[in-house]
Structure 1
Amino acid sequence: MTKTNAGRFFEDYAPGQVIHHAVPRTIKMGERALYHALYPARHALYSSDQFAQACGLPFSPLDDMIAFHVVFGKTVPDVSLNAVANLGYAEGRWLVPVWPGDTLRSVSEVIGVKENSNGKTGVVWVRTRGLNQHNEEVLSYVRWVMVRKRDASSAAPETVIPELAKVVDPSDLVLPKGLHFDNYDFTLAGEAHRWDDYDVGEKIDHVDGVTVEEAEHMMATRLWQNTAKVHFDATVRPDGSRLIYGGHVISLARTLSFNGLANAQMVVALNGGAHVNPCTSGMTVRAWSEVLDKAETSVPSVGALRLRLVATTGAPFALRGEDGKYLPEVLLDLDYWALIPR
């Protein structure tokens, strides 16, 4: 009797399946220390209890991307262990802050499947929810993944492609209970720029770059228990390289955006995103942003910016070629809402 798990293949998914992912994790302050060691994270709300308390919170929550990585990592053995690539995201919302001591688990529902024309792989869409120890939903998002088939000759399932919103409506953004920016300290935050200082269409070069090292990537994937073979096993990919976890690139780009967006304190929604080219060790990742939209929130002192965040190994503001395709140096194109003082 086989006791090991080879992971799901494309044929194993069907719309309506609900997958309860194994191994809940209790997250404490060590998680933040490691996160801030892995990335140049400097947003004040996630760094200082006193700063967070001045903004109406009981103390500093854990970084929004820590919540994302933990919830995402739980899903890998069941969703993307045999993935060729993680293709994109939609309808992501951060709903409740994650505090030190919270225990997170993940549940996913399969909402779409489509076999690729090569007959060897297919795309699977899942909606994942992260739940805390109180059964509160802290995070929800959709992602789609290209997964290998176990048997290329097996019949293709009926295609189901979910209809997904292109953007989370500003009225659906959830602010943490008590949050306000009435007493916001711009000096301690690091920049003076408010919501009113940003214009739709404005582009920001975040200037700095970080060269990706194999060791830090492996530490990150282990920390969040992301067991996808393409990240761990150098024999899986034809070129013998290990693919850098896409979430690693997201966190690098988000933390690099501090220079120019230091007051975009909290990520509250993920409208869309794609890992458009692979990232491997030795690449130097840089970031730039574009302001796509602005919105008011239910709290007068808090505004929302819709931002495009691009991670690249090339020049700022270069995204697509004349053929409309992403340039080869572009690694990530992410569309999100962030909260900023007005």
Structure 2
Amino acid sequence: MSEQKVIASKTKRGNFFEDFYLGMQIEHATPRTVTSGDQALYTALYGSRFALSSSDEFARSIGLERSPVDDCLAFHIVFGKTVPDISLNAIANLGYGEGVFGVPLYPGDTVTTTSEVIGVKENSNGKTGVVYVRSTGCNQRGEEVLSYVRWVMVRKRSVDSPAPETVVPNLVKVVSVEELTLPDSLNMSEFDEKLSGSPYRWGDYEVGEKIVHVDGMTIEEAEHQMATRLYQNTAKVHFNNHTESQGRFGKRLIYGGHIISLARALSFNGMENAIKIAAINGGTHVAPTFAGDTIYAWSEVLEKIELPEKNGPSSRNDLGALRVRLVGTKNNDCASRPLRQEDGRYHPDVVLDFDYTVLMPK
């Protein structure tokens, strides 16, 4: 009987917690050329109506060369590149911070992503750990499209693996105005509020104001699957119902970024002129969501930010920024639900707590 030749597997099973180390540099595979088809499909999935990512003519009227893709789509594409190396064996994506959007991402641009491990911490159960990474997406000219930090809970390959030295990065709570990147050509002097959909500008919002966005959107399994494939996000928890049926929840989890996009799209009703995301200050996926859940959203204005003139000490008279808390809930209309309960814990219907900075005409 002839000996059978054993061939080593060439497939990749992703990194486990003990594979990560402080300072680890990762160049993620599969550069992605963005097309107008990506933007059209993104609009079909979420119904986003912000004028800047919808109309070339509107974009040109405020100084851009044409309409960039939706900022959340840019985030998802940069994020999706990282999944096979960072979170293929993740249990949960826990949070975000220090996110800065750079140059606009246009159809025809090609995105590549790199990541650096900036922190590791084994959990007390010895079965999982938290990995902190800073990921940066650049276009074909090497210009930064987006840089952000996220931390993710990852399974260990073996409970017997020794715990690494704990390093938790000290992240800023709010991206400073000096770190914000604004296109040099951006000019709101010809901003048309009839085309944008609302007369309410930067000066019409007050710190502490809460805007309930009224509308809701039910998550469909097929749409979520299509969205996650669009971003080339390969995380098992979103795709494989065979394995996830045996997991903690007994079914597939909805990708957290899907909730961010739903909440951002819903926020149009009440914040139509928040035309561009400038920064992600922080964010938490508070609770899981599943197909069939209906997402609602409300926003709270946390801070009004003056933007400096390009050349001089004065503030811009055409453009300002708002720091906003965007909260997503499931299966309630948000109107009477508090963010937290009396014991300080999140209300059980809250699924997203997202702190971000948006640009708005004055």
Post-superposition CA distance 1:119-152 (Å, at most 9, x none): 0000000000001101111100000000000001
**Alignment match, 1:320:** 340
**Alignment match, 2:313:** none
**Alignment match, 1:106:** 113
CA distance in 2, matches of 1:326, 1:261: 24
CA distance in 1, matches of 2:339, 2:160: 38
Q: Does residue 290 of structure 1 match 2:300? A: yes
Q: Does residue 77 of structure 1 match 2:102? A: no
**Alignment match, 2:272:** 262
Q: Which amino acid aligns with 1:238?
A: R
Match of 2:341, SS? coil
Are 1:124 and 1:144, in contact at CA under 8 Å, matched by a contact in 2?
Answer: yes
The 5 A counterparts of 1:148-163 are 148-163=155-170
**Alignment match, 1:41:** 48
Match of 2:65, SS? coil
Runs (4+) off by over 6 Å: none
CA distance in 2, matches of 1:238, 1:200: 40
**Alignment match, 1:250:** 260
Which runs of no fewer than 5 residues in structure 1 stay unpaired?
Answer: none
**Cα-Cα RMSD:** 0.8
**Alignment match, 1:278:** 288
Which of 28, 36, 40 aligns to 2:35? It is 28
Post-superposition CA distance 1:78-119 (Å, at most 9, x none): 000000000000000001100110000100000000000010
Match of 2:208, SS? coil
Which of 188, 191, 215 aligns to 1:184? It is 191
Q: 1:155: Cα distance to partner? A: 0.6
CA distance in 1, matches of 2:18, 2:180: 36
Q: 1:172: Cα distance to partner? A: 1.6
**Alignment match, 2:353:** 333
Q: Which amino acid aligns with 1:339?
A: L
CA distance in 1, matches of 2:304, 2:178: 12
CA distance in 2, matches of 1:133, 1:57: 19
Match of 1:249, SS? helix
Which of 300, 317, 342 aligns to 1:300? It is 317
Q: 1:173: Cα distance to partner? A: 1.1
TM-score by length of 1: 0.99
Q: 1:300: Cα distance to partner? A: 2.7
Post-superposition CA distance 1:293-323 (Å, at most 9, x none): 0111134311000000000023335211111
Q: 1:72: Cα distance to partner? A: 0.1
Match of 2:141, SS? coil
Q: 1:170: Cα distance to partner? A: 1.6
CA distance in 2, matches of 1:264, 1:168: 17
Percent identity of equivalent pairs: 61
Q: Does residue 310 of structure 1 match 2:327? A: yes
Shifted more, 301-310 versus 319-328: the winner is: 319-328
CA distance in 2, matches of 1:124, 1:327: 27
How many correspondences in the alignment? 342
Q: 1:168: Cα distance to partner? A: 0.3
CA distance in 2, matches of 1:173, 1:19: 25
Q: Does residue 90 of structure 1 match 2:130? A: no
Match of 2:215, SS? strand
Q: 1:154: Cα distance to partner? A: 1.1
Are 1:57 and 1:177, in contact at CA under 8 Å, matched by a contact in 2?
Answer: no
**Alignment match, 1:228:** 235
Post-superposition CA distance 1:138-187 (Å, at most 9, x none): 10000000000000121100000000000001222111230111111001
CA distance in 1, matches of 2:338, 2:83: 32
CA distance in 2, matches of 1:42, 1:177: 24
Q: 1:189: Cα distance to partner? A: 0.6
Q: Which amino acid aligns with 1:263?
A: N
Are 1:107 and 1:129, in contact at CA under 8 Å, matched by a contact in 2?
Answer: yes
Are 1:116 and 1:122, in contact at CA under 8 Å, matched by a contact in 2?
Answer: yes
Q: Which amino acid aligns with 2:347?
A: L
CA distance in 1, matches of 2:97, 2:177: 15
Match of 1:150, SS? coil
CA distance in 2, matches of 1:8, 1:91: 24
CA distance in 2, matches of 1:177, 1:101: 21
Which runs of no fewer than 5 residues in structure 2 stay unpaired?
Answer: 1-7, 309-315
**Alignment match, 1:58:** 65
The 5 A counterparts of 1:144-223 are 144-223=151-230
Match of 1:2, SS? coil
**Alignment match, 2:4:** none
Are 1:14 and 1:110, in contact at CA under 8 Å, matched by a contact in 2?
Answer: yes
**Alignment match, 2:3:** none
Post-superposition CA distance 1:265-297 (Å, at most 9, x none): 000100000001001000000000000001111
CA distance in 1, matches of 2:113, 2:35: 18
Larger-Rg structure: 2
